[in-house]
């Protein structure tokens, strides 16, 4: 255990509460950001033998449909009422992200998941994340690992290399050693140093703060040009750091969306992101994302607790 404790903040918690399309995003700790960042493996079959059952496709005409845009033209779901109904049900199950989390009941595995999700298992040594570059690197470090180890990797990196300039010019083997706990350290080191070198060459410094004044589409194009930065990573930066109304899709959100019939059964995670980012109302994107991730972790991506409210929402629409 390290001798000192430094409070960690995500980008969302390091600035004042703001509005995302009318919904207040309150100050949060690191856990809300990390919920979005665990990268899963492709496939429809879920760990521990739980299979995702895709709901039948329902395409009831409505105003405000995609109009041919997106990966699934004419695929109407999820409807706005579905999104709001599922969000309300998830709040009943897991608590309101805007008001803090409450502990749930369940077996030991569920209790462990809730313990971590609800922020009771804080790292002894934590660091502040406040910049766009902090957010981007932290999200890259979270790929293919757990929330807890990604926090450790980030804290270790900043302890060994306090500035992004020192990471850029550092010995790759030493940088990799500092993030070894998070796994894939050599690959992540190469990607991080490549990004830092490109940014420094373009901007004359290791900073991405200029993105704060740019449009969502510009930010997506800019960040996606870097190797190892996919739609989920960019979406996490947009939502948690820049507080934009975007909807990250991790493996939990993806599998639950398939199970609820919100996307076709064979939809990829990237297609699911493109579709849901158009369909989910902006004012519930933050809550619905965070709650779906938690639900997926706690209930192993089982949608049985959510199907009744979806069916009721569809009944009202029809």
Which residues are marked as active site? 232
Sign of CA dihedral 22, 24, 30, 36: negative
- Measured CA distances, 243 to 3, 64, 282, 307 (Å): 34, 25, 11, 30
Measure the CA–CA gap between 105 and 91, rounded to whole angstroms.
15
Tokens of 83: 């999104």
Sign of CA dihedral 201, 231, 157, 135: positive
Measure the CA–CA gap between 263 and 267, rounded to whole angstroms.
6
Closest CA to 190 of 204, 179, 181, 201: 179
∠ Cα 248 253 255 (to 5°): 140
Measure the CA–CA gap between 77 and 134, rounded to whole angstroms.
35
């Amino acid at each position: 255990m390290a001798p000192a404790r430094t409070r960690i903040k995500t980008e969302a918690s390091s600035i004042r509460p703001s509005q995302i399309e009318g919904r207040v995003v309150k100050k949060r700790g690191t856990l809300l950001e990390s919920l979005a960042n665990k990268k899963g493996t492709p496939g429809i079959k879920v760990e521990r033998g739980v299979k995702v059952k895709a709901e039948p496709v329902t395409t009831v005409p409505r105003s405000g449909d995609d109009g041919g845009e997106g990966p699934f033209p004419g695929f109407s779901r999820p409807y706005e009422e579905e999104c709001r109904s599922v969000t309300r049900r998830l709040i009943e199950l897991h608590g309101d992200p805007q008001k803090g989390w409450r502990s749930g009941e369940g077996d030991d595995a569920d209790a462990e998941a809730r313990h971590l999700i609800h922020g009771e298992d804080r790292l002894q040594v934590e660091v502040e994340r406040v910049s766009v570059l902090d957010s981007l690197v932290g999200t890259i470090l979270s790929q293919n690992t757990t929330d807890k180890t990604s926090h450790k990797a980030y804290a270790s990196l900043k302890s060994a290399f306090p500035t992004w300039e020192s990471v850029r010019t550092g010995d790759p083997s030493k940088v990799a050693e500092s993030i070894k706990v998070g796994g894939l350290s050599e690959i992540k080191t190469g990607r991080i140093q490549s990004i830092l070198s490109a940014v420094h060459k373009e901007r004359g410094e290791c900073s991405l703060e200029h993105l704060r004044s740019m449009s969502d589409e510009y930010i997506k194009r800019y960040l996606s040009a870097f190797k190892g930065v996919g739609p989920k990573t960019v979406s996490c930066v947009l939502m948690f750091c820049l507080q934009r109304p975007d909807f990250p899709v991790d493996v939990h959100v993806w599998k639950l969306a398939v199970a609820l019939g919100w996307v076709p059964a064979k939809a990829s995670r990237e297609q699911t992101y493109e579709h849901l980012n158009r369909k989910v109302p902006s004012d519930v994107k933050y809550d619905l994302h965070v709650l779906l991730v938690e639900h997926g972790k706690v209930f192993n991506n089982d949608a049985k607790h959510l199907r009744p409210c979806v069916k009721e929402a569809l009944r009202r629409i029809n």
